[in-house]
Amino acid sequence: MEPAIRIRQLAFSYPADPFQLRIDSLDIEAGEQLALTGASGCGKTTLANLISGIVHPDSGTIEVLGQAIHRMNDADRRAFRITSVGFVFQQFELLDYLKGRQNLLFPYAIHPALKPDAGIRSRAEELAEALGIEHLMDKHPGAMSQGEQQRLAIARALLPQPRLLIADEPTGNLDPDNAHRIMALLHEQARTSGTTLLTISHDPGILQGFDRSLSLPDLSGEST
């Protein structure tokens, strides 16, 4: 079976910045649950952005779900990301002027590639309940705690049932009980739908339950 993610000879740098990321080879199997670890600043979020097509490599190849991300233009990468990749961002990317339910359903409102079927609203309510935020659906993000906003962002990423789910520090703003609850939900959702799960964290306490964990510095031919 073809890997969900295949990276070869990847190189990336930011303009006027000493940071460099190099990865010789990385394969993540379809349906695998992988934890990517490493100290803050080592390039974990940059790698997630490369895999999802938010940024483009300087050289090398990135194939995701059978698609050559490195060959796509911006519009194609955006369409691919919104239909096939669920992304839980560190900064949540919620819209302050929308209530919880509207934030949850927002991707369906802005991109024609996502088709809202008859059960999408009921699935949204089920996810909100599973994450313990059903009482927040009529509130704006500004009326929520950091942890509540994070759970809303996770629900939004899970809603389209993506084939690849990338969670960037998904427990960073949560107490231990809620962190355990969130990780259990991510693992369960991935197993149920056959989704490949890539979780990025500097917290070794979340590694239980993953098929495999890798340290980014061990993958990098060179990173600073």
What CATH number is given to the structural domain containing 182? 3.40.50.300
Continuous H helices in 6-141: 44-52, 74-84, 100-110, 120-130
Is residue 222 scored above 70 in pLDDT?
no
- Main-chain phi, psi angles of 59, to 5 degrees: -160, 170
Q: What is the mean pLDDT of the chain?
A: 88
Rg (CA), the chain: 17
Q: pLDDT category, 220, cuts 50, 70, 90? A: low
Judge contact between 104 and 124, C-beta under 8 A. Answer: yes
**Arithmetic mean of pLDDT, 53-79:** 93
pLDDT in tens, 126-139: 989 988 899 999 99
- Annotate 148-208 with DSSP letters as a single string: HHHHHHHHHHHTT--SEEEEESTTTTS-HHHHHHHHHHHHHHHHHHT-EEEEE-S-GGG-T
Tell me the per-residue pLDDT of 176-202, one tens digit each, with 9 for 90 and over.
Answer: 887 888 888 889 888 888 899 999 987
State the total domains in the chain.
1
The residues pairing with 28 across neighbouring beta strands, listed in sequence order, are 5
Range(s) of the domain holding residue 219? 5-223
Q: What is the bridge-based pairing of β-strands 85-88 and 164-168?
A: parallel
Which of 62-71, 88-97, 200-209 is least confident?
A: 200-209
What is the structure's pLDDT at 221? 52
Q: What's the CA gap between 148 and 176, in Å, rounded?
A: 14
| Tens-digit pLDDT profile for residues 138-171 | 999 999 988 888 889 889 988 888 999 999 888 8
